[in-house]
Amino acid sequence: MFRKLLHEISAERMDAENPLLPPFFYQQQKAYSFCMKFAKDKDVLEVGSGSGYGTYRLAKVASNILGIDSSELAVNKSKEKYKADNLNFIWSKIEDYRTKQEFDVVIALQVLEHLEKPELFLRKVAAILKKEGLLLITTPNSQTQSYNENPYHYKEYSFGELRNFFSKYFREVNLYGISGNSEVRNFERARKDHVLSLLSGDRFKLRRFLPRKIKQLAFDLIAYLNRFLYQQRDRRLNREILEDDYKIAKENEPNPIDIIAVCRHLR
């Protein structure tokens, strides 16, 4: 029961039916919409399928799609909730996944920053991706998002770091940014001010000495409570931030929230 509760309040996992969906959910929907054109009529693997709603969206255009996630609870819930003839879910870490199948497209949204050894992820992708296949990833932009000290993240990347990292494995790397309109920018500014205000209470940065699991639990609880604040804000404004409030542009767009990498042609 406690394990299920922790899963439900996790700041890193969102369910499409959660009544307290924050803007981050719709930000990710923008990324899924971007991925759909690449997934059309392809054999697709989604790494970090989470609660399965995005994998199910992709199944509407893909030839076949497999969602893989390290959470047994998330995979069981996905299997129960989302069903299609061309859709399947597997419980496994990507590093441990064994298959002879090769995929046209591998998608990993908000996964890279969670990996302690991201090179193992890329080696696995190289092993299961077709030679002319495509890797699509999103990850937080370190230049705009690292202020919140997310304890689930091992490393956040800049555009330059991502290009250097992926260029070791792919001959073509194109980078994009996810940003938003004035509503989104106001939300991001308020969110940053709130986080920095909370962190300023720890003048001596004693949080550095807390166990990682404790920091994650505190992060989840604060994020969960903030979802109520987001909902109240939307009611006051009589407006909710939705997918159309986000846009995707080339990497020279100023101050994007997330980075998208589109990587082609394995070396």
The label of the residue with tokens 């199944």 reads 59
| Confidence category of residue 27, pLDDT binned at 50, 70, 90 | very high
First to last CA, the chain: 46
Confirm whether 9 is domain-assigned: no
Confirm whether 7 is domain-assigned: no
Confirm whether 184 is domain-assigned: yes
Q: What is the pLDDT of residue 234?
A: 53
User: Which one, of 205, 215, 228, lies nearest residue 150 by Cα?
Assistant: 215
Q: What is the domain extent for residue 91? A: 21-266
The CATH number of residue 180's host domain is 3.40.50.150
Confirm whether 125 is domain-assigned: yes
Confirm whether 253 is domain-assigned: yes
| Confidence category of residue 5, pLDDT binned at 50, 70, 90 | very low
The distance from CA 63 to its chain's CA centroid, rounded to whole angstroms, is 23
Q: What is the pLDDT of residue 231?
A: 63
Confirm whether 212 is domain-assigned: yes
- Rounded to 5 degrees, what are φ and ψ at 154? -85, -35
The label of the residue with tokens 């494995």 reads 169
Give per-residue pLDDT as tens, 222-250.
777 776 666 655 555 546 889 999 999 98
- For 198-210, give the DSSP string: HHHT-TT-GGGGS
Vertex 145, ends 72 and 110: CA angle to 5°?
25
- Rounded to 5 degrees, what are φ and ψ at 201? -70, -20
Confirm whether 3 is domain-assigned: no
Confirm whether 6 is domain-assigned: no
Instruction: Specify the pTM.
Output: 0.90
The token pair at 43 is: 């054999």
SS3 150: coil
| Confidence category of residue 24, pLDDT binned at 50, 70, 90 | confident
Q: Judge whether residue 4 has pLDDT over 50.
A: no
Q: Judge whether residue 20 has pLDDT over 80.
A: no
Give per-residue pLDDT as tens, 160-215.
999 999 999 999 999 999 999 998 998 888 888 888 888 899 888 889 899 999 98
- For 26-43, give the DSSP string: HHHHHHHHHHHHHHTTSE
Q: Regarding predicted confidence, which is higher, 201 or 66?
A: 66
Measure the CA dihedral 13/118/102/109, to 10°. 30
CB 252 within 8 A of CB 34: no
CB 30 within 8 A of CB 178: yes
- Counting the structural domains of the chain, the total is 1
Which stretches of 10-112 are DSSP H helices? 23-39, 53-59, 72-81
Neighbouring residues of 87: CB distance < 8 A, sequence distance ≥ 6: 55, 56, 59, 64, 65, 67
Q: What is the pLDDT of residue 12?
A: 60
Give per-residue pLDDT as tens, 145-175.
999 899 999 999 999 999 999 999 999 999 9
Q: What is the pLDDT of residue 263?
A: 97
